[in-house]
Amino acid sequence: MNRRLAAVALGIAATAALASPFLAQAQTAWPDKPVTLVVTFPPGGSTDQVARALAPRLGDKLKQTFLVDNRAGAAGTIAAAMVKRAPADGSTFLVTSLGPLVIVPHLLKSQMQYDPLKDFDLITVAVQSPNVLVVPTASPHKTVADVIAYEKANPGKMSFASSGNGSSDHLTAELFWQETGTSGVHIPYKGGAPAQTDLMGGQVDASFQNINAVIGYIKAGKMRALGITSGKRSPVLPDVPTMAEAGVKNLEVTSWQAVVAPKGLPPAIRDKAHAAMVEVLNEPAVKDGFTSVGYELVANTPAQFAAFQQAEYARWKKVIETGKISID
């Protein structure tokens, strides 16, 4: 009897050994159907820019259709929850800013439909960029010091637009108020593009926008840049001081865009997707397109992304708790 069991076990092992290359081949045959890149914001903003840079080149490289699907709303959580529920088969990815992954969970605790630290397989942080404090060209404020002086004389009066509750531009404004002992009015929009439109139209007073999203408007004279949230000046705005140079300490903020997938993505698909995305991001035309408008290429590994997410999650939790910020 033991000999029969041993023979059966050997047969099963042999069959598994023969089958494993075919299973691996089936997984790495990805993508065998169209792939959707779900974006957390409307067309025109930084996150959308990343998705639309990736989609056509991934399609060319992997010989499959890559579609961009903008699902804006609820500070990016609608798109994130949608991707969490999608099959973990490589047919759906989320292209997102930092908000839904490290900020919004601290603001919408009672309404969260996903756990950002447990419900996704991390692929890569694609790019990052500082935010820039901008005002309309007709604004009387010419410097960061002008803004601070006005806010101290008029607490809670100056309006700051953002791409949505829980976005990096929202929390940068909150951190700015904390560090300068001032206060303003937060005006959330459903994405960066409509916020930028109203800023240029003078409907709002100021905004901390992603530098890459507004560099064209700044250079065209439609917005005035007062300061950037990086540790050193940006090569695309060399005459604009950092916030530290402008007298505001502890306001180094990087906005970032990343790609994640539903939890449970087969490792072979994850590895192939990561390799393809990093390769596309490093293509000279794609890389130059990003860096020319102020992005910094990241293209890190899933493990590096996980460590980075944990650090960012803790950082923004502290900012939100210190400011008693809530959008529930």
Using alpha carbons, list the distances in angstroms from residue 172 to 4, 45, 125, 135: 69, 17, 20, 15
Q: Is the pLDDT of residue 2 over 70?
A: no
Distance of alpha carbon 7 from alpha carbon 71, whole angstroms? 55
- 3-state secondary structure (DSSP) of residue 225: strand
Task: Report the CATH number that the domain containing residue 182 is assigned in CATH.
Answer: 3.40.190.10
Q: Which residue has the higher pLDDT, 24 or 303?
A: 303
Q: Is the pLDDT of residue 201 over 60?
A: yes
65 and 213 in a single domain? The answer is no
* Residue 242 included in any domain: no
Do 213 and 299 reside in the same domain of the chain? no
pLDDT in tens, 207-265: 999 999 899 999 999 999 999 999 999 999 999 999 999 999 999 999 999 999 999 99
pLDDT of residue 44: 84
* pLDDT computed for residue 22 by the predictor: 41
Is there a single domain that holds both residue 122 and residue 263?
A: yes
Is pLDDT larger for residue 26 or for residue 262?
262
For residues 91-117, average pLDDT: 93
User: In this structure, is residue 91 part of a structural domain?
Assistant: yes
Q: Is residue 19 part of a domain?
A: no
Domain limit, last residue, from 210, 228, 246: 228
Would the pLDDT of 18 be above 70?
Answer: no
Full residue range of the structural domain in which residue 105 is found: 27-128+256-323
Nearest to 44 by CA among 252, 227, 258, 189: 189
**Calpha distance 42→89 (Å, rounded):** 25
**Domain match, 273 and 300 both:** yes
Let me know whether 146 and 94 are in one domain: no
Count up the domains in the chain and report the number.
2
pLDDT confidence band for 204 (50 / 70 / 90) = very high
Instruction: Report whether pLDDT(202) > 60.
Output: yes
The mean per-residue pLDDT over the stretch 94-98 comes to: 96
Task: Say whether both 39 and 188 belong to one domain.
Answer: no
Domain check: are 180 and 219 in the same one?
A: yes
Q: Would you say residue 2 lies in a domain?
A: no
- Tell me, what CATH number does 50's domain have? 3.40.190.150
In a domain, 266, yes or no: yes
Asked, for residue 146, whether it belongs to a domain, the answer is yes
pLDDT at position 214: 94
Residue 1 lies in a domain: no
pLDDT number for residue 109:
75
Class of residue 287 by CB neighbours under 10 A (exposed 0-12, middle 13-18, buried 19+): middle
Residue appearing with tokens 């490589």: 90
pLDDT at 10 over 60: no
pLDDT at 1: 45
